Amino acid sequence: MRPDSMVQMNQGVSGVLSDWHPPVMGVLWGLFDKIYSGSGPMFLFHLSLYWGAVSLFACAQPQKEKWVYSIAILPPVFAYQLLVIKDISFVNAYLFCAAWLHFYSMRDLRPGLFSLLTWFVIAFYGTCSTYQAAIALPWLCLWFAKFYWPDSSKKWIGIGLLLCGVFMTSVTAFNKTMSTPSNRGLHTKLYDLAGISINLNDPVFPDYIKQNKLYDFEKVKQLYNPNRVDDLTFPNDSPLTAAASPEEANILHKAWISAIIAYPAAYIKHRWGIFYQQLTVSLLKPPSSIKGETTSTITTILNLVEKSGMFTVASWFMAYMMYFFIQLIYIYKSYKRFNEHPKYISLFFQNIMGVTLVLSLFFIAGAAEARYAYLAIAMFYFSHPYRE
């Protein structure tokens, strides 16, 4: 579990939820806690979604069954399932929804009412799980509409976008009802202002920040890095203080917009630094970064693997850069043959969901984390067996 997960679990158990994290996972955790405390029930729930998706992918094309089950246990796909975090709730829910659409499309079947309701519930849960889901949701809704209206007319596009609007309205209403507001989003704005300031070597922060006794531009330079905003704005003695009132939040927002408009080159340079880290960051960490008790035998083996070069190769398979260009090819090829067969529709939507989500991180990410690209990696692997 990550610290974020512990916060969500504690909020769910206490029933006091903030919108720093989408509340749905906390709500579910609170219900699970009445049966069994800890991370176990959420871990089992994630695995149920995952293996449900795998089974649907396998049953969609029985001749590809061995392929699918082999993919399901590959480290670049399965390793993320060891994490109990909201990103896995989101990815596994969307994987299930994608597998459901692929299964019924390939089998040329129409789902019953219970199955259809299950899809909507899981799609709603996945969309509620993380705010970034809003980027992938339109493609999932368009795919659903294309499944029900497969003719060559463009009617399915309007229906898909309408369905997306209904989902987002429902998700927004749920989040507002179940949680209290926080200063979510302010840290990313501070991060952007810091990046712009450092690239200009001239602070562009609003006056209320500069007038704070903790403010120190030299310390901002020391703490700033393209990996994560946390090191810069989260410490108690941070030189950049988040807004203490709605008025200051409004001032910060205006300063952020003004800085982007006035200094687009500095903004893009700052954002590219984060995005490049996102493309190359790997879930696989070097042995030297492993914390906690590890036996000397395991440490020796890991060090030998790292020195052999195998570690470098494995790290690349656990990062997104390698998959990005292949996914672009898959999107292009499947779009060219979009209406020839349902498998090309599946290939197109699975890969464009992942690519679009990762590309959006250029503008919205406050850190470079391997898990942010997990949807793209998982969708790529599970679309691979039916690329031809």
Q: Report pLDDT for 150.
A: 87
Q: Report pLDDT for 292.
A: 65
Arithmetic mean of pLDDT over the chain: 92
Identity of the amino acid at 353: M
Q: Report pLDDT for 387.
A: 61
pLDDT digits over 30-80, tens only? 999 999 999 999 999 999 999 999 999 999 988 989 999 999 999 999 999
**Rg of the Cα atoms in the chain:** 22
What are the helix and strand counts (H, E) for the chain?
A: 20, 0
Residue 269 clears pLDDT 80, i.e. is over it: yes
Q: Report pLDDT for 44.
A: 97
Residue 286 clears pLDDT 80, i.e. is over it: no
**Which pLDDT band holds residue 254 (cuts at 50, 70, 90)?**
very high
Adjacent-strand bridge partners of 180:
18
pLDDT digits over 289-311, tens only? 776 667 788 878 878 888 887 88
Residue 388 clears pLDDT 70, i.e. is over it: no
Among 368, 164, 340, CA closest to 275? 368
pLDDT digits over 115-133, tens only? 999 999 999 999 999 999 9
**Which pLDDT band holds residue 358 (cuts at 50, 70, 90)?**
very high
Among 135, 47, 128, 131, CA closest to 95? 47
In the chain, the percentage of residues whose pLDDT exceeds 70 is 98
Name the burial class of residue 317, with classes exposed (0-12), middle (13-18) and buried (19+) by CB atoms within 10 angstroms of its CB.
Answer: middle
- Strand blocks (E) in the chain: none
Q: Report pLDDT for 49.
A: 98
Phi, psi of 66 (to 5 degrees): -65, -40
- Scan for tokens 């970064």, then name that residue: 289
Q: Using a CB cutoff of 8 Å and minimum separation of 24, what contacts does 351-356 make?
A: 351/327, 351/376, 351/379, 351/380, 351/383, 352/139, 353/94, 353/98, 353/136, 353/139, 353/140, 353/379, 354/136, 354/327, 354/378, 354/379, 354/380, 355/324, 355/327, 355/328, 355/331, 356/135, 356/136, 356/139
pLDDT digits over 1-28, tens only? 888 899 999 999 999 999 989 999 999 9
Q: Report pLDDT for 218.
A: 94
Q: Report pLDDT for 222.
A: 94
- Contacting residues for 265 by C-beta, under 8 A, at least 6 apart: 199
How far, CA to CA in Å, does 139 sit from each of 28, 121, 188?
26, 17, 26
Rounded to the nearest angstrom, the gap between the alpha carbon of residue 279 and the centroid of all alpha carbons in its chain is 13
pLDDT digits over 204-244, tens only? 999 999 999 999 999 999 999 998 898 898 888 899 988 88
Rounded CA separation 160/149 (Å): 10
